[in-house]
Structure 1
Amino acid sequence: MAVTFYDLSSDAGLKKLDEYLLSRSYITGYQASKDDLTVYSAVPKKSLDSYVNVSRWYKHIDALLRISGVSGEGSGVTVEGNAPASDVATPPAADTKASAADDEDDDDVDLFGEETEEEKAAAEERAAAAKKSAKKKESGKSSVLLDVKPWDDETDMVKLEEAVRSVHQEGLLWGASKLVPVGYGIKKMTIMMTIVDDLVSVDDLIEDHLTAEPINEYVQSCDIVAFNKI
């Protein structure tokens, strides 16, 4: 549907155009077209200060012309000087509704709105998971040799070893072991283990597990013989 503006050289015609541009950036559609050029060429520059919306639109089209150098006759808008200004057509109802709908959609979008509790919790959970994953990748490993000493020569060393190896923990891997005589018929057990440094504390392992119940029934003490980074 064509939109016709009459007698834009008159105050009445410019007033109608100003009202039309109150809720629009362009004459037709949602981007500049040849229709804007046609009306642009018909609007007297000396009248711009009196019509805010026409002035805004005119300066915008003028800037686009300076950048792009586009020129040409309008195809959907005619400007005639002999018809009364009251005959200026109003924008189609469909365009008005579309514009109103767009405005409502814009109102619904809050780019700076606060996060909901669910969004905050999800973000914190993702951050924690990423941190944990990075920590595991960066964690170093160590090889540790332990001396495990029994209470006396009557301690069952087979059960002592079983008790020690029963300790399972993330980042802990038991290795080879052997019995070493210490005198008076008493033997101690030396055992290798590999640990992930950020996951296993050797001191805590000894204090909380190897020399605590029920393993302390067989183990009297533990000493770190060697501690080497892998």
Structure 2
Amino acid sequence: MAVTFSELHTADGLKALEAHLAGKTYVSGDAISKDDIKVFAAVPSKPGAEFPNAARWYETVAAAVASRFPGKGVGVNLPGAGSAPAAAAPAAEVAKDDDDDDDDDDLDLFGDETEEDKKAADERAAAKASAKKKESGKSSVLMDVKPWDDETDMKKLEEAVRSVQMEGLTWGASKLVPVGYGIKKMTIMLTIVDDLVSVDSLIEDHLTEAPINEYVQSCDIVAFNKI
């Protein structure tokens, strides 16, 4: 959530900013962000000595803005430098490019994204996606797969069932169980990622559809347990 302050041109407004910055380097987070730029653009000049936290923060942000916009005044007296024109335009120029990417906490003030920056961002995105997958629940399923009759080739039936491959589905051990009149059914274990695989869809859309239904007459869920 964006941090905002009102009436930063007044003593009361600066007091609120001073209190907020106590023990902090930036307005929000551990690095300079769009919040800092927006607030900086609203402060007409460097706060006085009665606002030491705000003054220190102002100098830090001013230096960053000056690096991004060399040669333009930012309205701050930096240590060792003369008085700069009171112009917050560079900060406002950065601030107006505001909420197009709210997922980025840090603001790139120092030029275009480099290949290293892009690689790091891709790695962070991949790590988040991997973490999300790990958080997805899993289930262990025991299923009975029944053939049409005693003449059904049970080896080919098993091969047909295991031929169904999809993300989040892992086939486990199986065995043949006699059911009478020379007919055997196949009992098979499978593990699924709940967010990726529906057992009902697996049966209806794959195991009892052509070409697998040449061997499989029906499937029943015997046990369904969360892992």
Length-normalised TM-score, structure 1? 0.49
Q: Which has the higher helix share?
A: 1
Higher relative contact order, structure no. (Cα contacts within 8 Å, ≥ 6 residues apart): 1
Decide which structure has the larger Cα Rg and report it.
Answer: 1
